[in-house]
Amino acid sequence: MENQVLTPHVYWAQRHRELYLRVELSDVQGLTLLPRLECSSVIIAHRSLELLGLSSPPGSAYQVGLQNPAISITENVLHFKAQGHGAKGDNVYEFHLEFLDLVKPEPVYKLTQRQVNITVQKKVSQWWERLTKQEKRPLFLAPDFDRWLDESDAEMELRAKEEERLNKLRLESEGSPETLTNLRKGYLFMYNLVQFLGFSWIFVNLTVRFCILGKESFYDTFHTVADMMYFCQMLAVVETINAAIGVTTSPVLPSLIQLLGRNFILFIIFGTMEEMQNKAVVFFVFYLWSAIEIFRYSFYMLTCIDMDWKVLTWLRYTLWIPLYPLGCLAEAVSVIQSIPIFNETGRFSFTLPYPVKIKVRFSFFLQIYLIMIFLGLYINFRHLYKQRRRRYGQKKKKIH
């Protein structure tokens, strides 16, 4: 008696050029044996197998092999049939899907112990609003959230792959790809190592001084670690240049915003006003900056040598959530505390030429800068959130 034909669970996802289907069917073998039948066609098939050096076990009640799974695309319809273990036990399972748009008729599949993975190429690279031509989704079909991407994220992935391909072509035209890649990784490793050591020195110095001196250490923070902070922040210009010329794939805007914002605080607010250098806020600004960077640069450093330490990766993509807002808050406090000092000293203030003759105080620009601090926080926060979401997966939402 033939097994009842059932429908397996199928999960799907897409990219602009490909469709991915995951069929939940285990123990699908590459060959299905049929019972021995005493007919001429079966005998011919059996003898053909023997000529090819293939035969069934001696005395076996099975003789002829059929393709399993049977997967094909005809007239833009995917046909699937296979013997395997699914939701209804060991049975023959099959389904048919008519695609929303045209696909290439050569599906590629891979068998694993637990499932069948099918890849179908779209004829036109574009985003589909759904998988099937019929609007109502079949009951056995559901989104594959393990591989699912929104259209915008898929476009970013596509651009990243295209950039990687163009970079590869550019490197091939300029010289040995392996040599240039190794030089690039070595250069980035050394840069991240120097920054990591610099910010680690600041972080450890401030931590030890606080443990020994307590709150008294707040007031001479600038004179203790300012030289190292100047060095690290001037060196950070290289990071923005790397992004601008394509040495790294990081976007330029978030890197530039952080560079300009921090250097404004360091060189203008703290560096030019001695009255600000003895304030406790300097400790919190420097401490938060260094806490963020020791994890960021150590993560980048290990990435250059193809190492992935999961604990460090999690810290790099998580600690910024509390530390970035706290850092911006500390910067804002330092700007607010500097406003009366700039008003009193008149530094960087100027008078417009005749006939206007209006004195423009530098504190006016500081008030504008306060708004820009939180605008920059939003831009960087959004960028870091997207990075974290790409690293740790998408939010699972119901998608047709």
Predicted confidence band of residue 400 (pLDDT cuts 50, 70, 90): very low
Cβ neighbour number for residue 128 with a 10 Å cutoff: 14
Q: What is the pTM of this model?
A: 0.54
Residue 135 annotated in active site? no
Q: Which of 331, 354, 378, 385 is catalytic?
A: 331
**54 has a pLDDT exceeding 50:** no
Question: Could you tell me which residue, 154 or 93, shows the higher pLDDT?
Answer: 93
Predicted confidence band of residue 174 (pLDDT cuts 50, 70, 90): low
Q: Where in the chain is the domain with CATH 2.60.40.790?
A: 5-29+68-149
| Per-residue confidence (pLDDT) for residue 217, from 0 to 100 | 92
Nearest-angstrom CA–CA distance, 271 and 114:
63
Predicted confidence band of residue 32 (pLDDT cuts 50, 70, 90): very low
pLDDT digits (tens, 9 = 90+) for 68-119: 789 999 999 999 999 889 888 888 999 999 999 999 999 999 998 899 999 9
From 278, 269, 238, select the one nearest 345 (Cα to Cα). Answer: 269
CATH annotation of 5-29+68-149: 2.60.40.790
pLDDT digits (tens, 9 = 90+) for 129-146: 999 999 898 989 999 988
pLDDT digits (tens, 9 = 90+) for 250-301: 888 888 988 999 999 999 999 999 999 999 999 999 999 999 999 999 999 9
Q: Which of 324, 344, 369, 378 is catalytic?
A: 324
Residue 293 annotated in active site? no
Residues 190-204 have a mean pLDDT of: 96
Angle at 27 between CA 120 and CA 22, to 5 degrees: 25
